[in-house]
Each structure stands twice: as C-alpha cells, then as structure tokens.
Amino acid sequence: MILRGLMKLFGGGGGSSPSKSSASSAPGRVPEDVKDLECFVDYVVRALVDYPDQVKVIYETRGQDESLIKIDCNKEDVGKIVGKKGKTIMAIRSLVSGAAGRMQKKVSVEVND
C-alpha cells in the first residue's frame, strides 16, 4: 500500500488519472493528492524518530495555491528530523516539493520546535 502511494506520488506508473482537482473540495478539507503527501511525510518522519507515537503531521492552506505540512514531535526528535547540517529535512522538502510540482501545487514542509 505504501509502495503504491509512493509510485503514484512520484510518477511511477500509478493507475489513477491526474485529472482530480482540489478546487472542487470543500474548504478546510485536505485534497486527496495533498493527503498522499501528508501521509508520505508522516511515514518517513515516524521511521526516523525515537518516539513515533508523539509525531503529528498537520496540513494547512496558506493561500489559493500554497500549502504547508507541519511536523510536531518530541523535542528530542527534532534533531533527527533535521539531520546533520539540515540535510534530512532538505531531502524531505525536496521530495515533497517535487511530488507537489507534478500536481501543479506548492507545498512546503516545516518542523515545529
């Protein structure tokens, strides 16, 4: 299931059509394609930290075309998500940004301390 979601996000031949539009979704509701990105971030972050039960991934809309995925976690785990010289969070941001770009969206990722 995770692999199928990743294939869909990163263009590996998922069978669904990209014609789903988030414009028709109700206000305050997470669009399905962005929900996949949110689940991806949740999966990766939980695999990195010592306290995965304390991880919360929250989706916020910043504007018409911009979204934000916020990561809340235990204070001790922030360093594991950020990584040495910020390389881990930069990699997560790069993957999310690339997948969001395929959907003609702008999604950024932020870690709350």
Residue ranges of domains in the chain:
2-11+33-111
Q: What is the mean pLDDT of residues 86-104?
A: 94
pTM, rounded to two decimals: 0.75
> Do residues 5 and 35 touch, judged by C-beta distance below 8 A?
no
Secondary structure (DSSP) of 27-96? TTSPPHHHHHHHHHHHHHHHHH-S-GGG-EEEEEE-SSSEEEEEEE--GGGHHHHH-GGGHHHHHHHHHH
pLDDT value at position 113?
77
CA distance 84 to 57: 22
- In CATH, what is the architecture of 2-11+33-111? 2-Layer Sandwich (3.30)
Q: What is the mean pLDDT of residues 18-22?
A: 43
Q: What is the DSSP letter of 112?
A: -
Residue with tokens 């263009």: 11
Check pLDDT > 90 for residue 14: no
* pLDDT range class, residue 17, cuts 50, 70, 90: very low
Q: What is the mean pLDDT of residues 93-98?
A: 95
Q: Which of 4-8, 31-35, 81-85, 109-113 has the lowest mean pLDDT?
A: 4-8
Torsion, Cα of 93, 27, 57, 91 (10° steps): -10
